Amino acid sequence: MHPIDCLISRVMNLDGLPSKRNPAGIAQCRLAVAVTRAFIGAQCTDKSKQSVKTSLKAAEVVAELAMTAPAQRIAIEHGIDLLEAIPVDAIHSGQFREVRWPQIQSLVAERIATLTRQREQRRKRAKKR
């Protein structure tokens, strides 16, 4: 299985399947983050146009995944940051590092903060009842 497909699978399983919300399921998701990071890093060792393109595409797929509700929930509930799967310093693109990466970080942080606020508001409403 491709490392990014594995990461997607682990995120969706950890979020969606109660039977996976255990130490083994959490460890599998963390390992998938590390494997994806190694995969993207390996793509970055070659500075050819194709390798740069592949690493940028992989980084964008991980970023898109990190912006999903399941990824945000596992970030909050299990402390798993999918953006750790992107070896930013290894990617041979100044445009990515200087422009796109800060955008990705900001978007993911905003979405996690929004979800955190929504959960807190629900808790407060539930306490009032």
pLDDT in tens, 65-117: 999 999 999 999 999 999 999 999 999 899 999 999 999 999 999 999 999 99
pLDDT confidence band for 50 (50 / 70 / 90): confident
Residues 6+ apart with CB under 8 A from 42: none
Residue 15 makes CB contacts below 8 A (sequence gap 6+) with 69, 70, 71, 73, 74
| Distances from the Cα of 15 to the Cα of 8, 9, 63, 103, 114, angstroms | 11, 10, 17, 25, 18
The answer to whether the beta carbons of residues 59 and 86 sit under 8 Å apart is yes
